[in-house]
Chains A and B, each alone.
Chain A
Amino acid sequence: MLSFVVKRVLSAVPVLFMVAVIVFMVLRLSPGDPAVMIAGPNATSEQLADLRESMGLNRPLLEQLLIWLGDIGRGDFGTSLVSGKPVTELVMDRLWPTLALSTSTIILAVAVALPLGVIAAWQQGKWLDRLVMAGSVVGFSVPVFIIGYVMILIFARKLGWFPVQGYKPLSAGFGEFASRLVLPSIALSFPYIALIARIVRTNVIEVMGEDYIRTARAKGQTERGVMTEHALRNAAVPIVTIIGVSIAMLISGVVVTESVFNIPGLGRLVLEAVLARDYTVIQAVILLFSTIYVFINLSVDLLYGLFDPRIRY
C-alpha cells in the first residue's frame, strides 16, 4: 500500500512536469506581457522596456523556463508580476474560498444525487425514473451562470434569505460563512447532481443484474436489504470514480460561479491573471489544479481498495 502510494506520487512528477512545460510555453507564446499591464494604458515604449528588464522578461525563453522550474523545485513559486506579492501567499489566500465552494458543492451533489440515482434505479422504467432522468438531462443543459442569476433573483433579492454575493471565512462565524455558500453551491451542483445520479442509476441497475444479487434474493433477503447490503457497495467503485471526475471537472464551473457570486477564489485569480498576463500566478494556479487533479485520482484509486477487497496495492 505504502509502496503503491509512493509509486503513484512519483509517477505524478512527469505529469506535472509536462503540465508545467505546456503551461509555460502556452503563456510565453501569447501576445501581451505583464509589463504593459502594469504600466497602464498610456505607458511609453521606454517605460515598458525598463519594466521588462527589471522583471526578467527579456531573457531567452528557455532560460526563463529553466529558472522557473528550478525555483519550483525549491518550492519557490516567485512573486506576482503584477502585485509583487509572493505567489504562494496570493494562492493560499484564494485557496480557501474555492475549497469551501468546491467541497460544499460536492457534498451537496453527492447527498442529493445518491438517493436520486438509487430511487431511479429502483423504479427503473417507471415514471419516477423517467422524471429523475429527464431532470438530470435538464441539469446538463442550462449554463451555470443562468442558474446563478435566477437563484440570486429569487432567493437573495425577492425572498432575501441569503446574501447576494461574497465570501466570509469561517472565522467570521459559521452563519456568515455558510449563508454565502448556499446559493453558489446549489447553482454549481446542478450538473454534478445530474451526472452522479445517472452514474449511480446505471451502476446500481447493472449490479442488480449480477448473480450475487440473485443469490441474496435466494437467501430470502428483502429488496431493501439487497440494495443496501449488496448492491450499493458493489456499485461504489464507479460512483467513486465519477465523484473524482466531478471534482476534477468542477474547476470550469468554479470560475463562472466565483464570478457570478463574487467569491474571491482561485478561479477568479487565474482568470484575472490571464487577462493581466501575470505569468507566475497563472503558472502556479494551473500547476496547483493539476496537482489536485493528480491527487484526487490517487485518492480515488485508494478508495477503490476500501470498497472492493479485490483491489490491493
Chain B
Amino acid sequence: MLTKSFCSNLLKPTMLALALGTVSGAAVQAQTITAVMHAPLRAVDPVISTAYILRNFGYMIYDTPLALDSAGTPQPQMASWEVSEDGKTYTFTLRDGLTFHDGAPVTAADVVASVTRWSKVDKTGQVMASLMTEMVAVDDKTWTMTFGEPTGIALIALSKPSGLAPFIMPASVAATPVSEPITSTIGSGPFKFVEADYRPGVSATFAKFEEYVPREEPSDGMAGGKVVKVDEVVWTTMPDPMTSLNALMSGEIDFLEQTPHDLLPVIEGNPDISTRQVKKQGSQNLVRMNHTLPPFDNPKYREAVLLALGQQPMLDAQVGAGSEYSQACAAVFGCGSIYNYDYRADDIMYAHPDKAKAILDEVGYDGTPILLMHATDLATLNPQGPVIAAQLRDAGFTVDMVSMDWASVVARRASKATLADGGWNMFSTTNVLPDVANPIGFIGVAAGGDSAWFGWPNVPEIEELRMAVAQTADVDQQIEYAKKIDELVIDNGVMVPMGELFNVNAYSSKLTGLVEAEAPVFWNVEKAE
C-alpha cells in the first residue's frame, strides 16, 4: 500500500502534469485491474437472471460445488464426491477452510439450500430435480443426492459452467423465493463485493477475499486453485466501444471483455496491448421461428427458411469477411462440443435460394409478409436482421423486418398472439457456446410445445431424447442421443444454427496468467508494475 499512496501523491500535481501527457491511471493503481465488461452490472441475483454479466459476477464472489476443467470434465471445486455402487447415490464432501465473506463457515446445509433454489430455475437443474428422490445435508461437511436410477446428471448440473451456474450462497439467502431477486452479496468466492463502491450501471469493485483458501491444483478452466494475485478488480462499462478501445490504448483500463472485431486492426501490432481469442466464450447465432403461427406452423415453410439461410454472410457482417474469429458450423450443439455433428451441413451452412423457392412454389406461398424482429441496440444482434431479411427475400419470401430495442424483442417474443395483435414470426439471437453444448440445458432445442422456449416447437421425440440423455451416465450413449436430437431439431426447424463467432479479449500486456474458461474470470491473473 505504501507504493500506492506514494505514487498517487507524487502524481497529484495536477493540470500541468496532465497537460504534459503524464496521464496514467495504470501507474497509480498498480494492484487494480480495471475491466470493461460487455454489460453493466445492475442487479446482483445470479440465479434468477440468465444475463451473462450476472454469471460473470457470480464467478467473482461465489464458488461452485464442482467445476469443469479445460477439457470439459467435471472436477472437484468446493467439494469432492463419491458415487454409490448402484450409481444412484452421490455423496459430496466440502473441503476445509471454506468461509463466507461474513466469516461464517460454508456448510452442507448452505449448499443444499442454494442448489435447491437454483434447480427451481435452471433447465438442467429442473431435470436433475425431477430425477432426484432426495437431497440431504448429512453433517456440516457432507450432503447426499439420491436418484431413482443411475445417472450422471448430478455431476453435469453441479459443474454447469454457464447460463445459470449453481452458485453457493448462505442458506438464509438461498431461502429467498425465486420470484424475488436477492440483494445479499455474501458469497464464498475468491473476491468479495465492495458494496460501498457499487454504482449500479456504472461500476462494481471486487476486493481480494483474503480468507479464501484456494485448491492446491493449478488453475485449469473453471477448476483448480483460484489464486487471486491482485488487490482489486474494478468492472466498468462503456457505452461506446470506440471509447473503450481508446481508453485501453491510453492505459486507462486494463481489460476489455468484448473487443469489436472490426477494430482489432487498430490495436494489432501495439506492444502494450495483447489480444486472445476465447472459443469457450464464443457464441452461436440462431434463428427461431414461431411454430404456432402461419406460415411456420407448416414444416415446409420452416424447411424453406433453413434452405434459404446461409451462415457466412451473417458471420461476415458480424466479425468481418473471412475473419478467423468466426466459423460456419452446422452442429446444433456447437462444433467445439463433444456433440459436434455434420448432419445436413451443406443445407444449413449455405444459402440455397433456388431449393427454397421450389418449396415455396410447391406449397403455394402467397407472399404474406414474414414478421422478423430485429434488435438494434446490441452490437452482435444488430447485423443479424438485415442479413436474414436479405437472404429470405432472395428466396422469395416477403419480409417485414421490424426494428426495435432488445427490451421490445424480449417482450414481443413472449406473445403467442396473431401478427395483428402483436405476435411475431421470427427472431434471431445468440447463445454462448457453453450453454449450447448441453442437450439438456440448451433452451434452443427444447421442444415441449407450450413449455418450450419462445417459438414453442412441439416435437415429443426430442423431449424424450433429452430426458434419456439425463438418465444415463454413459457419455457415448449421451452423444448418440444428442445426434438424434440434432437431426430432429434440423428436420423440424426447431431452430436454425447460424454459425459461431468467437470472443476476443483485449488487455494490457501487463496482465499475465488469464484463465481460459467459459466466463471471464480474474483469479490467477497477475499485473506487472
By a beta-carbon cutoff of 8 Å, the part of chain A in contact with chain B is 30-33, 36-45, 47-48, 50-51, 53-54, 80, 82-85, 90, 93-94, 149, 152, 156-157, 159-166, 173-176, 178-179, 258-262, 264, 268-269, 271-272, 275-278
When distances are taken between beta carbons in the complex, the residues of chain A under 8 Å from B14 are: 173-176, 178-179
- Is B183 part of the contact surface with A, judged by Cβ < 8 Å? yes
Contact across chains for B12 and A175 when beta carbons are under 8 A apart: yes
Contact across chains for B246 and A83 when beta carbons are under 8 A apart: no
List B residues 29-45 near A (Cβ within 8 Å): 40, 42-44
Q: Using C-beta atoms within 8 Å of the partner chain, give the interface range for chain B.
A: 35 or more
Interface SS of chain B: helix, strand, loop or mixed?
loop
- 15 of the cross-chain contacts (CB-CB < 8 Å) are A31-B407, A31-B411, A36-B414, A37-B407, A38-B43, A40-B49, A42-B50, A48-B414, A84-B43, A161-B21, A163-B247, A165-B238, A179-B18, A272-B201, A275-B407
- Selected contact of A276 from candidates B25, B42, B177, CB within 8 Å: B42
- Is B250 part of the contact surface with A, judged by Cβ < 8 Å? yes
**0 or 1 for each of B423-435: is its CB under 8 Å from A? (1 = yes):** 0000001010001
- Is B239 part of the contact surface with A, judged by Cβ < 8 Å? yes
When distances are taken between beta carbons in the complex, the residues of chain A under 8 Å from B242 are: 149, 152
A261 and B243 contact, Cβ closer than 8 Å, known pairs A179-B18, A276-B42? yes
CA distance A31 to B417 in the complex (A): 14
Contact across chains for B49 and A38 when beta carbons are under 8 A apart: yes
A175 and B18 contact, Cβ closer than 8 Å, known pairs A160-B250, A260-B240? yes
- Is B103 part of the contact surface with A, judged by Cβ < 8 Å? no
Chain A residue with the shortest CB-CB distance to B422: A31
- Is B132 part of the contact surface with A, judged by Cβ < 8 Å? no
Contact across chains for A164 and B42 when beta carbons are under 8 A apart: no
When distances are taken between beta carbons in the complex, the residues of chain B under 8 Å from A53 are: 179
Contact across chains for A262 and B23 when beta carbons are under 8 A apart: no
When distances are taken between beta carbons in the complex, the residues of chain B under 8 Å from A264 are: 199, 201-203
By a beta-carbon cutoff of 8 Å, the part of chain B in contact with chain A is 12-15, 17-19, 21, 23, 25, 40, 42-44, 48-51, 54, 121, 163, 177-181, 183, 199-203, 236, 238-240, 242-244, 246-247, 249-250, 252, 377, 404-408, 410-412, 414, 422, 429, 431, 435, 443, 451, 453
For the complex of A and B, the 5 pairs showing the least CB-CB separation, nearest first, are A175-B14, A50-B179, A40-B50, A160-B21, A32-B411
- Selected contact of B414 from candidates A45, A80, A173, CB within 8 Å: A45
Contact across chains for B408 and A31 when beta carbons are under 8 A apart: yes
Chain A residue with the shortest CB-CB distance to B242: A149
Contact across chains for A165 and B407 when beta carbons are under 8 A apart: no
When distances are taken between beta carbons in the complex, the residues of chain B under 8 Å from A271 are: 239
When distances are taken between beta carbons in the complex, the residues of chain B under 8 Å from A277 are: 407
Contact across chains for B180 and A54 when beta carbons are under 8 A apart: yes
CA distance A237 to B78 in the complex (A): 71
